[in-house]
Amino acid sequence: MTKNTEITRLTPHGHMDVLSQVEVSQLKQGSTDDSLYEIFRRCALAALNVDSKTDDAREVLEQYHDFDIRVVQQERGIKLEIENAPESAFVDGRVITGIQEQLFSVLRDVSYVRNKIDSNQLFDVDSSEGITNVVFHILRNADTLIPETEPNLVVCWGGHSIERPEYDYCKEVGYQLGLRSLNICTGCGPGAMKAPMKGAAIGHSKQRIREGRYLGFTEPGIIAAESPNPIVNELVILPDIEKRLEAFVRAGHGIVVFPGGVGTAEEILFLLGILLNPENRHVPFPLILTGPESATPYFRQIDDFIKLALGQDAQEHYSIIIDDPTKVAREITAGLESVRNFRRDHKDAYYFNWILKIDHQFQQPFEPTHDRVAALNLTRDQPQHLLASDLRRAFSAIVAGNVKDDGIRSIEQNGPFQISGEPEIMQALDALLHSFVEQQRMKVPGKVYAPCYYLHNR
């Protein structure tokens, strides 16, 4: 671990040139709204901590406990001052330009959510439509929504800790997507989130596409464990995991899932739960699970778990393609054409999927306390999409216990999360999680994994 102990001043790149005096005071350490400063500091540290080798948020925060960032207001606008930042963000003493842009994206989003969303009674977060409206406004404020474009944004999900053959495969898929002029959106981190962007950048370059889009959607709880990779040229910080997931499915036109761990399983279950809602029965949303030949057992186990828990109806919403990047790109391109035709026929926007029905249960922020995790209904005596929602929350709790600072502390104080449910589901879930541990998909390779959960039958 090395730090740049010099005080560095940064100038805005294209946005957030000015803030009000109130906004600046909110972002100061020791202000009456100290929580906003801490959110800003954590997200900024993550953006600077490029190519981090740890996925333990608390470890990152402890390593850089003396990191500080300040907003300085001047007669010509604002600047950021940073001190004791990770040396990896610098080249010859200067912060990498892409990381500077990401820092001001962080400033833009945390300030906007606090001042324009949280304190605005026009945003009804107690209703499904109100939460979707919040997601829309955050993305619009970030200039993410571009009206006069065809559906061409492919969301790529996958693990931050993957082996080299999987990384190379993800990169090749991204390259094939880039050759077809498709843009990429990921969770913005390393591994399967970075690789397709890297590949797409090469494909875009060959096609002389100079304005390729590499979107990264994240949230304050996960960003320290999955620092944004510097290829991301449009970073958006959503307030919580639920709004982040909704942003993916509202802004994206199709999804490719690479090998991952519990976070990837959470994402798959979120989307399947939405697609299983009877109101979305006829809404096209291409979903492909793919990886190299070595990932065959991984996808087989995921597929088996989905079949047992959610049934064959859920399996019909995705296809599995092994070791064929070109086929993935061709099929997702064909799927995007179906999306375009459907949106045109139903007069729905290309840039934001308004017509997709997302049940309020999927949108409500789930804070994984021990009591809430124990109360999850993991049984098949309920509609499929509602079971998918609670399964998603179970995986979200495990993610929190693995890598989020608050989750790690909660496990240390109260022991593992107690996850209970129908015996068959628990058995399948245990087998799935055990395979993640064996394949080192829970933590960065080299660490011994200590489960943050305990499974038992209800």
Task: Let me know whether 268 and 304 are in one domain.
Answer: yes
Q: Is residue 128 part of a domain?
A: no
Residues in the chain: 458
Say how far apart CA 343 and CA 347 lie, in whole Å.
6
pLDDT digits 0-9 by tens, 390-403: 999 999 999 999 88
Tell me the pLDDT tens digit for each residue of 274-286. 999 999 989 999 9
Residue 2 main-chain phi, psi, to 5 deg:
-125, 150
Look at residue 83 and tell me if it is in a domain: yes
Domain membership of residue 57 (yes or no) is: yes
* Mean model confidence pLDDT for the chain: 90
d(CA 409, CA 50): 25
**Domain identity same for 171 and 311:** yes
- Do 325 and 230 fall within a single domain? yes
Q: Are residues 340 and 368 located together in one domain of the fold?
A: no
pLDDT one-digit tens code per residue, 401-439: 988 888 888 999 999 999 999 999 999 999 999 988 888
- The answer to whether residues 250 and 202 belong to one domain is yes
Q: Are residues 10 and 47 in the same domain?
A: yes
Do 301 and 167 have their domain in common? yes
Residue 1's pLDDT is what? Answer: 63
Across 217-238, b (16+ Cβ under 10 Å) vs e yields bbbbbbbbbbbbbbbbbbbbbb
State whether 194 and 77 are in the same domain. Answer: no
Pair (177, 249) in one structural domain: yes
In a domain, 113, yes or no: no
Alpha carbon distance 182, 354 (integer Å): 21
**Domain annotation covers residue 172:** yes
Categorise residue 92: left if φ over 0, alpha if ψ from -120 to 50, beta otherwise: left
Domain assignment of residue 22, given as a range: 3-101
Q: Are residues 258 and 385 in the same domain?
A: no
Instruction: Answer whether residue 223 is part of any domain.
Output: yes
pLDDT in tens, the chain (458 residues): 677 777 888 887 656 666 777 777 777 776 666 688 889 999 999 899 887 666 666 777 788 888 998 888 776 678 889 999 888 889 998 999 999 999 999 999 999 999 889 878 888 888 999 999 999 999 999 999 999 889 999 999 999 888 899 999 999 999 999 999 999 999 998 899 999 999 999 999 999 999 999 999 999 988 877 889 989 999 999 999 999 999 999 999 999 999 999 999 999 999 999 999 999 989 999 999 999 999 999 999 999 999 999 999 999 999 999 999 999 999 999 999 999 999 999 999 999 999 999 999 999 999 999 999 999 999 999 999 999 999 999 999 999 998 888 888 899 999 999 999 999 999 999 999 998 888 888 765 456 788 899 999 98
Q: Is residue 232 part of a domain?
A: yes
Q: What are the residues facing 290 on neighbouring strands?
A: 321
Strands (E), 309-452: 319-322, 417-421
Task: Decide if 111 is inside a domain.
Answer: no
Number of domains in the chain: 3
What does the pLDDT read at residue 14?
57
Distances (CA, A) of 373 to 264, 377, 391: 19, 9, 10
| 240 and 271 inside one domain | yes
Q: List the CATH number of the domain containing 21.
A: 3.30.1850.10
